[in-house]
Amino acid sequence: MLSNTQILTILGLSVVQVMGIIDPSLAKTPQMGWNSWNKYQCNVNETVIINTANAMVSSGLKDLGYHYINIDDCWSLHQRDNTTQRIAPDPTKFPNGISGVASKVHALGLKFGIYSDAGTNTCAGYPGSYGYEAIDAQAFSDWGVDYLKYDNCNNLGLAGNATISSKRYKRMGDALKNVSRPIFFSLCSWGTDDVWDWGRSIGGQSWRMSGDISDNWSSVVSITGQAVPIANISAPGGWNDMDMLEVGVHDQMTITEYTSHFSIWAAMKSPLILGNDITNMTNDIKNIITNNEVIAISQDSLGASVQQRSMKGNTQLFAGPLSKNGYVSLFLNEGNSTTNMTGTWSEIFNNPKANTHKSIAVRDLWAHKDLGRFQGSISVSVESHGVRMLKFSQQA
Ligand X SMILES: *[C@@H]1O[C@H](CO)[C@@H](O)[C@H](O)[C@H]1NC(C)=O
Which listed range, 57-65, 173-181, 183-191, 262-270, lies at the site for ligand X (CB under 6 A)?
173-181
Neighbouring C-beta atoms of residue 308, cutoff 10 Å: 19
Out of 96, 335, 354, 383, the residue judged to bind ligand X by CB under 6 A? 335
Q: How many residues bind ligand X (CB under 6 A)?
A: 34
Q: Does 161 bind ligand X (CB under 6 A)?
A: yes
CA-based end-to-end distance of the chain? 54
Amino acid code (one letter) for 320: G
Q: Does 174 bind ligand X (CB under 6 A)?
A: yes
- Site pattern 341..360 for ligand X (x: CB under 6 A): --------------------
Q: Which residues contact 26 (CB under 8 A, 6 or more apart)?
A: 20, 182, 184, 205
Which listed range, 1-9, 41-49, 121-129, 290-298, lies at the site for ligand X (CB under 6 A)?
41-49
Closest residue by Cα to residue 204 from 191, 195, 213: 195
The DSSP output letter for 86 is P
Spot the catalytic one: 146, 151, 193, 243: 151
Out of 25, 79, 201, 351, the residue judged to bind ligand X by CB under 6 A? 79
User: For residues 192 and 393, which CB has a smaller minimum distance to ligand X in the complex?
Assistant: 192
User: For residues 142 and 293, which CB has a smaller minimum distance to ligand X in the complex?
Assistant: 142
Out of 27, 48, 110, 188, the residue judged to bind ligand X by CB under 6 A? 48
Q: Does 43 bind ligand X (CB under 6 A)?
A: yes
Q: How far is the CB of 388 from ligand X (least distance, A)?
A: 13
Amino acid code (one letter) for 2: L
Neighbouring C-beta atoms of residue 189, cutoff 10 Å: 25
Distance (Å, rounded) from C-alpha 205 to C-alpha 186?
A: 6
Out of 82, 107, 283, 352, the residue judged to bind ligand X by CB under 6 A? 82
CA angle 162, 164, 170 (to 5 degrees): 90
Neighbouring C-beta atoms of residue 314, cutoff 10 Å: 15
Spot the catalytic one: 90, 212, 251, 284: 212
**251 is known as an active-site residue:** no
Handedness of CA 43, 47, 49, 52 (dihedral sign): negative
Closest residue by Cα to residue 25 from 238, 208, 172: 238
Q: How far is the CB of 345 from ligand X (least distance, A)?
A: 19
Question: CA 7 from chain center: how many Å?
Answer: 35
User: For residues 175 and 272, which CB has a smaller minimum distance to ligand X in the complex?
Assistant: 175
Distance (Å, rounded) from C-alpha 196 to C-alpha 207?
A: 7
Contact of 127 with 87, CB cutoff 8 Å: yes
Query: SS3 of 127, please?
Result: strand
Q: How far is the CB of 358 from ligand X (least distance, A)?
A: 23
User: For residues 55 and 153, which CB has a smaller minimum distance to ligand X in the complex?
Assistant: 55
Q: Does 77 bind ligand X (CB under 6 A)?
A: yes
Q: Which residues contact 102 (CB under 8 A, 6 or more apart)?
A: 112, 143, 144, 145
Q: How far is the CB of 95 from ligand X (least distance, A)?
A: 9
Q: Does 334 bind ligand X (CB under 6 A)?
A: yes
Residues of this chain, 201-260, that bind ligand X according to CB under 6 A: 214, 216, 218-219, 232
**72 is known as an active-site residue:** no
- Residues with a known catalytic role: 151, 212
Residues contributing to the site for ligand X (CB under 6 A): 40, 43, 45, 47-48, 77, 79, 81-82, 88, 133-134, 160-161, 163-164, 174-175, 178, 214, 216, 218-219, 232, 280, 282, 314, 334-336, 338-340, 381
